[in-house]
Structure 1
Amino acid sequence: MHICFLTNEFPKEGFPHGGIGSFVKTLGAALVKEGVEVSVVGLNYISLNEFEKIDGISVYRLKKSSVKGLSWYLNSIAISKKIKEIHSQNSIDIVEASELGFAFIKKIKKIKYVIRMHGGHHFFAESENRGINKWKGFQEKKSFKKCDAFIAVSQYVKLHTEKYLSLDNKPVGYISNPINTDFFKPIQENEVENRIVFAGTVCEKKGIRQLIQAFPFVKNEFPNATLEVYGRDWFFSDGSSYMQMLKDIELPQLGAIREDIHFKGAVSYLDIPNAYSQAEVCVFPSHMETQGLVAPEAMAMEKTVVFTKLGPGPEAITDHETGLLCDPHNPKNIAEKIIWTFSNKKESETIGKKAREFVLQKYSLKSIVLQNVDFYKKIIPNNSHN
């Protein structure tokens, strides 16, 4: 079986990458271990065509077109050509992309095309109460019509995507994103008392502003509390920094306690477990997620996690059993959950242990890989590949 993933985000040293890139790297390497051939095709971070083999995955990075107004078209042609070239040398069974991925890709008859719903344009437009961008909306609809099957990373993402886009009774699999539980495992000796850790893009939809507003309530009860913020900055359409906005507008209102909020910036994937391990509580008050990777990663490390009660939050956490759920729009509620964790250390420890057990059961890499292989086999014609 040969799977080809389309993504421009496959991790490359020295360049920031998104969650989909990490997901493809984790799943791809695990598929290779199961005897599946894996290729990745996407646009490069630099102006070169490059090929490398990473963890058994063949990674093709294509030079981006710089022709104004036509780059989207020329990039799609380049990706389509590369798929055709790889297919002619070593036939591809499945090409997988996220929601917009197939809009301008030329289909090859014998290949099945799968969209994995990580949360596309229509999904996030609804969750953020904003209008549909006509161009992006058009691409997504076109892409959905072209594909042969779907994989949803949560029930929630499927329900809210199909409000806007027809799945045309095509096969749908429900498969969570995997967590590498050998990589994310308990490191107890690093924990720092009353340390709060946030990880994720520093932007409005991740709830970091409300977490900062919650911090004074926590400090009233636990004066030595600190907040460590790990993640890359997000930029407004005028190019201004969201992180700088927080420092200019939110932090000055906190007085002296702002000194206990530390922006660590983007960290390497390899350093994330170390960041989580120092937390007494990990807090991710996202306004919206499709599944979210950070919550189960921290849960796998036996951390008490405060996660959003919205969207798929209840699919990931049973409140006060495997973690805590908060109202991400309510700073006082976020603070109450953090204060409860600091005040109930024994119960928090039990929650952390149950959290890891749950992650091992629902998100373990081995189980997720086999679910993917089974789904791929179902949609390959005549199920002719092992």
Structure 2
Amino acid sequence: MNILILTREYKNDKLPPCGGTGIFNTLLAKELVKRGHQVTVFGVNKTNIDFDDEGVRVHYTKNLFKRNFVYDLIRSITQKFSFLMPYHFKIHEKEKRDISRRLFAYIEKNNLAVDIIECHDFEGLSLFLGKKFPYVVRCHGSFSVLEKYFGYKVEAGRKHCEREAFKKARNVIAISRFSEQINRELFGVSRFKLIYNGINIQEFQPDPNPSIIPFSIFYLGNVSLEKGADTAFRVFARLAAKFPQATLQFVGRETPYKAVLDKEIQAQDLTDKVIFHGYQSKENIIRLLNSAHVGIFPSKGETLGLALLEAMALAKPVVASNLDSFKELITSGENGYICDTDADFVTHISDLLTDTTLAETLSQKARKTVVDHFSIEKMMTETLEYYTTIIQNHN
């Protein structure tokens, strides 16, 4: 097949740091290439760049708001006044039309015989794709979902385009049963194809002779309130009083919230015990996680949880917040722990730090869960089968 991925995010050193969707797109694209398919990534963000990434053709173009200051100014002003909201929606729609226009021009210029387009749900990039090419929307987590279910503050124009895009989308992938439920409630989508995100279990392989940092608690994800960085530190402060050797190690992109966190760390005199590794390559993430004693995932909202799956694939004992999506991955007490409160986190992490047998048992079951149900092979088989069905049904 000739597959095109339309996206804001793709993980590569030549591009700005990205979140889980970008990591997923990179994995998907390279796995498709390995299976003999032609893959083009058409990205829309802050830069103009073309490059080859292990057989994946990557083209990025600046979005309308980055190319034209006036449009960006209008977008900013119109969101502040309710009587200007129709114009705010129109300016966002204009950007989505511009994306489709540039995409179709790129396809024509490069004589791409595109069989199918895959797009993420957030921002409604698929709004004006029309019926020229079959396309599928994968629900990684829209801004509308983040606002309604997880308390994020979101620009109205983004939500508007998401609503309108879902009205037109005929083919939708949910990445968890929780994702399916919330998108049905929010957008009225009636039909989904459930395809869990997959982990490359060959790459995310436990180190047979790991150099575990004793009493190390690793946090993988953006250092933000939304991902639960505040919870992680509160929990750690209590653990540090019990375990003087304990360290809290953040692996992920630092957001403005880090400045707030730094003040709290200094106030509690824990500067030498809290380490920030920053945004890391996949190889470094694997190396760092292999040295972890325990993984903590206190996120306030996820549609699945790739970072959690990665830690489980590396056979790490994990503790996670009580989210419906996390409960699709963890059976508490069997392959990890689900925690309702800070006290739960403290109790379960304490047990894992001191009970080697318990930690080993949960770790091995965590790895088995990923191998059995969340492998990249399973995800790719189901994705390609769905692509084929979509193409056959396209008219």
Q: TM over 0.5: same fold?
A: yes
Runs of 4+ in 1 over 6 A off after TM superposition: none
Encode CA deviations 1:296-344: one digit per residue, 9 max, x unaligned: 10111111011222131110111111111112xx322211121010121
Task: Report which stretch shifted further, 98-107 or 268-277.
Answer: 98-107
Matching residue of 1:134: 156
**Cα distance in 2 for residues equivalent to 1:383 and 1:112:** 6
Which amino acid counterpart does residue 126 of structure 1 have in structure 2? K
Query: Is residue 381 of structure 2 the alignment partner of residue 370 of structure 1?
Result: yes
Please give the secondary structure, in 1, of the residue aligned with 2:60: strand
Query: Is residue 262 of structure 2 the alignment partner of residue 254 of structure 1?
Result: no
Identity of aligned residues (%): 28
For the 8 Å contact 1:3–1:94, the answer to whether it is kept is yes
Q: How does 1:163-202 map to 2 (within 5 A)?
A: 163-167=185-189, 169=190, 171-187=191-207, 188-202=209-223
Please give the secondary structure, in 1, of the residue aligned with 2:9: coil
Matching residue of 1:113: 135
Query: Is residue 73 of structure 2 the alignment partner of residue 60 of structure 1?
Result: no
Q: CA deviation at 1:377?
A: 1.2
Matching residue of 2:77: none
For the 8 Å contact 2:123–2:159, the answer to whether it is kept is no
Query: Is residue 227 of structure 2 the alignment partner of residue 206 of structure 1?
Result: yes
Encode CA deviations 1:98-146: one digit per residue, 9 max, x unaligned: 1145457533534112111111122111223467643222111111122
For the 8 Å contact 2:317–2:359, the answer to whether it is kept is yes
| Shift in alpha-carbon separation, 1:179–1:137, aligned structure 2, 3 A | same
Q: CA deviation at 1:84?
A: 4.8
Q: How does 1:373-384 map to 2 (within 5 A)?
A: 373-381=384-392
State the Cα RMSD in Å. 2.2
**Cα distance in 2 for residues equivalent to 1:75 and 1:129:** 25
| Shift in alpha-carbon separation, 1:37–1:108, aligned structure 2, 3 A | farther
Encode CA deviations 1:132-190: one digit per residue, 9 max, x unaligned: 643222111111122221001111012112212121x3x41111111111111111422
| Shift in alpha-carbon separation, 1:75–1:63, aligned structure 2, 3 A | farther
Matching residue of 1:238: none
For the 8 Å contact 1:2–1:94, the answer to whether it is kept is yes
| Shift in alpha-carbon separation, 1:246–1:75, aligned structure 2, 3 A | same
Task: Report which stretch shifted further, 83-92 or 11-20.
Answer: 83-92
Matching residue of 1:272: 285
Out of 278, 287, 296, the position equivalent to 2:309 is: 296
Q: How does 1:321-336 map to 2 (within 5 A)?
A: 321-327=334-340, 330-336=341-347
For the 8 Å contact 2:312–2:370, the answer to whether it is kept is yes
Matching residue of 1:243: 258
Q: CA deviation at 1:37?
A: 2.0
Q: CA deviation at 1:69?
A: 4.6
Q: CA deviation at 1:90?
A: 2.9
**Cα distance in 1 for residues equivalent to 2:356 and 2:275:** 24
For the 8 Å contact 1:94–1:111, the answer to whether it is kept is yes
Which amino acid counterpart does residue 53 of structure 2 have in structure 1? I
Out of 100, 117, 120, the position equivalent to 1:95 is: 117
Which amino acid counterpart does residue 86 of structure 1 have in structure 2? I
Which amino acid counterpart does residue 279 of structure 1 have in structure 2? A
Task: Report which stretch shifted further, 8-17 or 175-184.
Answer: 8-17
For the 8 Å contact 1:103–1:146, the answer to whether it is kept is no
Matching residue of 2:35: 34
For the 8 Å contact 2:119–2:125, the answer to whether it is kept is no
Matching residue of 2:81: none
Q: CA deviation at 1:259?
A: 2.2
Matching residue of 2:76: none
Please give the secondary structure, in 2, of the residue aligned with 1:190: coil
For the 8 Å contact 1:3–1:92, the answer to whether it is kept is yes
For the 8 Å contact 2:44–2:99, the answer to whether it is kept is no
Query: Is residue 354 of structure 2 the alignment partner of residue 354 of structure 1?
Result: no
| Shift in alpha-carbon separation, 1:177–1:115, aligned structure 2, 3 A | same
For the 8 Å contact 1:122–1:161, the answer to whether it is kept is no
Out of 230, 249, 256, the position equivalent to 2:251 is: 230
For the 8 Å contact 2:317–2:352, the answer to whether it is kept is yes
Matching residue of 1:316: 329
Please give the secondary structure, in 2, of the residue aligned with 1:27: helix
Q: TM-score, normalised by structure 2?
A: 0.87
